[in-house]
Structure 1
Amino acid sequence: MEIVSKLLIPSLISILVGYLIGSLSFSIILTRIISRQDIRTQGSGNAGATNVLRSVGLHAAVITFVLDFLKCVLAIAIGYQIFKYTCNQAGISLIWVQIGKYAAGVGCMLGHIKPLYFHFKGGKGVTTAAALVLLLDWRVFIPAVLTFIIVFALKKIVSLASVLGMGLYPVYTFLIMFLFDYKNSPLHFGREFSMLYILCITLASFIIGGIILFTHIPNIKRLRNGEEKQISFKK
């Protein structure tokens, strides 16, 4: 518990920094530049790459996706540096710097969803979540993104693919870390983490997945009623 208390303030700082960076909603910024309109008044009203694709076009959607991805990269890099400094100063093992990445990443997601600079009305955080999962552990990203790709290829519904991919994300996180990183696992490679550490990471991944599921509650309701629209690339 001493480690937790020492990392509490750095966690809050990382979340705040991530939130401020995440509040840069590039879907809103780009559509105002390109079409002189607010993306939140078009299509689904969501300030995200999917709605930009539907309402503005493929090129704008790609640029939006890339910039939203990069802002998560920046937030995570800062969170990492905050925790690296803290761990060095407090004599804490550097394995805990990963928590700084999660904290900043979660803050970035929250900023994307409720942007400070745009009246707290933003996107659903899927792009920033994808960036976060990839940057935190590529091993977990692979099954999560494969779930998304397979479901989307079959159904052509982004929300369904996002919900299933992120819903299974905590499960993939625990299984991969338990099998390959747990110090008592016969399959571990190099890294030998304690169960406390693995549970903390799993909890963080559960929070990330839970945020995505929460933002998709209206989509889940439409999916249950068979009303969710398929995506089209014709624009």
Structure 2
Amino acid sequence: MIVLKLTLAALFGYLIGGINPSYIVGRLRGFDIRQKGSGNAGASNAVIVMGKVVGISSALLDILKAAGVVWLAPVIFRGTPMVAEVAGVSCIFGHVFPVYMRFRGGKGLACLGGVLLAVDFRLLLILLAIEILLILLFDYICVCPLTASVIIPFLYGILGDGGFGFLLNASGGWWGAGIIAIGCILVFCKHIGNLRRIKNGTELHLSYLWKKDKDEELARVQENMKK
């Protein structure tokens, strides 16, 4: 019975995760966001293609859908161990490989943030403090998913009920951390291309968002990508 409940929770998380705000807004405007900008159906590309308001709104919706899945799963499937973690990671997979979009979705960072928010907002605050410092040092947004993917499983295991019992909604301790690590590995792998772009000089700096000559900067990056 537990296996059946976990399977249903995974399916629930996956199907909700596949609902992509950036893609939907792009379609409403008459285009496929995956054919513009970085080619990613996520909030970061939505900022580049459709502006900060749409991008930030998309990120918030991605966070909320993942958090909602993690909050609802234990309510729907009561008494099932690690159901929150399974549903949350499945939501990330649904966002990255959505059946509605022929399995070409986003990169899962905002959904990962939503999972952390639902588990315990204090865990998310700890991570945000670390990531803000790294962004200020390197001026690349991609440092967030790459470092967070490594840090999160350890924080989860140490601070969860398998460690100090710090986290409010953690259910699996180190077993739960192992499940969360699967989602983290996926997010990390989806951002490896960003490291190559940094090396090639084709990755946009975060400060790009506040530049007046955005078109010129974007043209420079796109020109480097052709080399």
Q: Same fold (TM over 0.5)?
A: yes
Please, which of 42, 47, 50 is the counterpart of residue 48 of structure 1?
42
1:64-213 to 2 correspondence within 5 Å?
A: 64-84=58-78, 87=79, 96=81, 99-177=82-160, 179-181=163-165, 197-213=172-188
Structure 1 residues 104 and 190: CA distance shift in structure 2, 3 A: closer
Q: Is the 8 A contact 1:78 1:104 kept in 2?
A: no
| Aligned-partner Cα distance in 2 for 1:73–1:137 | 10
TM-score under structure 1 normalisation? Answer: 0.79
| Aligned-partner Cα distance in 1 for 2:106–2:134 | 21
- Corresponding residue number in structure 2 for 1:32: 27
Structure 1 residues 44 and 147: CA distance shift in structure 2, 3 A: same
Number of aligned residue pairs: 208
Offset at residue 54 of structure 1 (A): 1.0
| Aligned-partner Cα distance in 2 for 1:134–1:104 | 14
Give CA deviations for 1:75-116 in whole Å, capped at 9, x if unaligned: 2233112331xx2xxxx7xxx3xx111111111111110111
TM-score under structure 2 normalisation? Answer: 0.82
Offset at residue 225 of structure 1 (A): 5.0
Q: Is the 8 A contact 1:27 1:49 kept in 2?
A: yes
Unaligned residue ranges in structure 2 (runs of 5+)? 215-227
Question: Per the alignment, in what secondary structure is the counterpart of residue 221 of structure 1?
Answer: helix
Q: Is the 8 A contact 1:160 1:223 kept in 2?
A: no
Q: Is the 8 A contact 2:89 2:180 kept in 1?
A: no
Report the residue type matching 1:31 in the other structure: G
The root-mean-square deviation of aligned C-alpha atoms, in Å, is: 2.4
The answer to which of 160-169 and 134-143 deviates more is 134-143
